[in-house]
Amino acid sequence: MTYPPRAVPGLLLLLTMSLPHVRAADTPNPLLEPSPLPFGYPAFDRVSDSHYAPAFTQGMAEHLREVEAIANNPAEPTFENTLVALERSGLLLGRVQRLFFNLVGAHGNDALRAVEKDMAPKLSAHSDAIRLNPTLFARVDRLHARLDQLGLDPESRRLLDRTHRDFVRSGARLGDPEKNRLKALNAEIATLQTSFAQNVLKETNVSAVVMDRREDLAGLTAAEIATAAAAAKAAGREGKFALRLVNTSGQPPLGSLENRAVRERLHQASLTRGSRGGDFDNRALITRLARLRAERATLLGYPNHAAYQLEEQTAGSVTAVNKLLSDLAPAAVANARREAADIQRLLEREQPGATLAAWDWDFYAEKVRRERFAFDESQLKPYLEMDRVLRDGVFFAATRLFGITFRERRDLPVYEPTVRVFDVFEADGTPLAIFLADLYARPSKRGGAWMNSYVDQSGLLGTRPVVANHMNIPRPPDGEPTLLTFDEVNTLFHEFGHALHGMFSSVRYPRFSGTRVPRDFVEFPSQVNELWMTWPDVLRNYARHHRTGDPMPAALVEKVLAARKFNQGFATTEYLAASLLDQAWHQLDAKKVPTAEGALEFEAATLRGAGVDFAPVPPRYRSTYFSHVFTGGYSAGYYSYLWSEVLDADTVEWFKSNGGLTRENGDRFRRMLLSRGGSTDAMELYRGFRGADPDVKHLLERRGLSTARP
């Protein structure tokens, strides 16, 4: 995934992430001053839980004083005394927000989650106090009316235009009664989103499936069984075995567990999250959120929340997104049904009379792949040791493509012992950025994989990037190597693509830094970076046996590459199903949102209506644990991975036809796209780099849909 939303100096963009506990409170509060460490790297070792609430309070107060001074400046509004001043405002609050929300997601605790819940409505009210300030908007509006007469450079002109648009979309033109209602809506939405996120994390941590007998885990490796035993012991169930859930519907052990009843139990535990009643039931939360978002959109002049959100994306409209999803769904489901038929035949051979169920898919799909391509995941993992993949794969490709180099350092504090820190240098040795790799799963970390920024690049502020990648790779027992799945390797390359987008940022204004681009464009550079995972020179460099150092055999490599389109019907269908649910919830009128009791039936009806209600392939996320859209900033935007993949697949063809992994290609990609952030219209950047509009045929070919029969 991507990245979670980020706080920005100046006009505030609220977040939905979160931070750690480190040690007892000190005085004075270290958050109130910029970090003295290189690049403003956070002083994690000096910060404690008790520092955040007062730092938030002081940060909001300082920000409002700065904004009031700008709004009430008696001088005629100018670009410098209004727009640039706004970009310079709120630095303390932005610094506190980034640190707090980034790290509650990475290493939270109950005390910090309490602060998060308390601050959510306060931060919403703070943002409203700025965006709905009529005096401030009047200054911005007067400047915007003279946009063509101000003689601004392109980035400054875009800053004025986008800032004015931000105000209008935030309700600046509403009357006072409507503004008051908007403030109430924003506060409640912020609180509900926080509650949803916390429910998902808490339930995931208590919903591990516990088995009494080692035999129940037949099919798992010795290391995986040891990890399950350690998880059970940590939960106070010593002598048993616990399989912790990840946030997707599918669970990694389903591909290996031989006991069908255990697979069913694990799968059902996953699918029923957030809908079992009790403290973590999210049905009332999602229906209330959908209703409030719809009401807010209507108040702002839009037919629904999706229309409001999509106006700012490269897709541009509900119609365009609906067409993309509906065009692909029939072919994807047809492919999934053909894949299911192959799996059913194998299942029938082994268990006569059995009918394929969702918990069988991964296990038997792996057997089908083994029969068809003569390899399985267990043959790959010994060649995919995590540190070698990172250094000799991810970093190696970046060095070849962009000339940058990496040096690990151990003198900077970290918030959790397994987090690693690297200096990143330009080809000439000039420091470029600091990169954190936080790759292991733990109960304090939210699910999934993402990139975030601790310090954003800005020419105006003179700041350089500090960015992090996060994953949830199970940590092996002490002394054992961390061996990755092929999917985990792909995710590592993907998330580093986001990191490159942040590290290469070269813009003046914080508003446009790094990955602050439309949601359906932000995944494009990260998906392009996945190309290098299987690029021959790169694969040969990192895919080596963790004990012998021998390269992955050429015959195995050929089988891996030949199997890339295998199971794409399943993968595309589960993704489309989740995307369609996202759109369905957010294209509703407020009066048509179902009750909490009707939430699951609404979900089922949506899937039936779209033709993707294929029981063996459930949505990648069901509504009740769909964090991307109910708390993670992707509301009405989950389609964006596929939209970005259209651009990505087309760009991959460009790289292949222009020599592939070369400095010339990398420098062009960096100069014309990665460094520009949001300073230019996203599709203008794309066309400038590619020289044409994207061609969807490359995506269809990649996913095996171009010749799919309906």
pLDDT at 397: 98
Alpha carbons 593 and 588: distance in angstroms, whole number: 6
Reported confidence tier of residue 207, pLDDT bands at 50, 70, 90: confident
Of the pLDDT bands very low, low, confident and very high (cuts 50, 70, 90), residue 12 is very low
Domain boundaries, the chain: 30-173, 207-271, 383-512
> In whole angstroms, what is the distance from residue 686 CA to residue 707 CA?
27
pLDDT at 223: 87
Question: DSSP states of 327-381 as a string?
Answer: HHHHHHHHHHHHHHHHHHHHHHHHSTT----HHHHHHHHHHHHHHHHS--HHHHG
Closest among 581, 632, 603, 635 to 292, alpha carbons compared: 635
The architecture of the domain spanning 30-173 is Up-down Bundle (1.20)
Which residue do the tokens 């100046």 mark? 10
Query: Which pLDDT score, from 0 to 100, does residue 20 have?
Result: 33
Q: Given pLDDT bands bounded at 50, 70 and 90, which one contains residue 709? A: very low
**Secondary structure of residue 471 in the 3-state scheme:** strand
242: which DSSP letter? E
3-class DSSP state of 432:
strand
The answer on pLDDT for 1 being more than 50 is: no
Checking if the pLDDT of 351 tops 50, the result is yes
Q: Locate 661 and state its tokens.
A: 């992994």
In this prediction, residue 16 has a pLDDT band, given cuts at 50, 70 and 90, of very low
Looking at residue 205, what is its pLDDT?
82
Enter the CATH code of domain 383-512: 3.40.390.10
| pLDDT at residue 19 tops 50 | no
Amino acid at 637: G
With 0.75 as the threshold, say if the pTM is over it.
Answer: yes
pLDDT, the chain, mean? 93
Q: What is the mean pLDDT of residues 279-295?
A: 97
Instruction: Look at residue 702 in the predicted model and tell me its pLDDT.
Output: 85
Q: What percent of the chain has pLDDT over 70?
A: 95
In Å, how far are 152, 321, 473 from 637, measured between CA atoms? 32, 9, 26
- So what's the pLDDT on residue 27? 63
Rounded percentage of the chain residues whose pLDDT exceeds 90: 88
Give the 3-state secondary structure of residue 437.
strand
Residues 146-183: tens digit of each pLDDT? 999 999 999 999 999 999 999 999 999 999 999 999 99
Structural element, H or E, at residue 559:
helix 554-562
Least confident of 65-79, 414-428, 628-642: 628-642
User: Residue 95's pLDDT band (boundaries 50, 70, 90)?
Assistant: very high
What per-residue confidence (pLDDT) applies to 143? 98
Residue 62 annotated to the active site: no
Q: What confidence category does residue 247 fall into, taking pLDDT thresholds of 50, 70 and 90?
A: confident
CA 244 to CA 113: how far, in whole Å? Answer: 21
pLDDT-wise least confident of 19-28, 165-174, 279-288: 19-28
Between 518 and 708, residue with greater pLDDT: 518
pLDDT surpasses 80 at 666: yes
Among the listed residues 116, 495, 523, 645, the single catalytic one is: 495
Which residue is listed with tokens 């989103």?
193
Element (H, E) at 453: strand 450-455
Q: For 403-530, where are the alpha helices, taking DSSP H only?
A: 486-503, 519-529
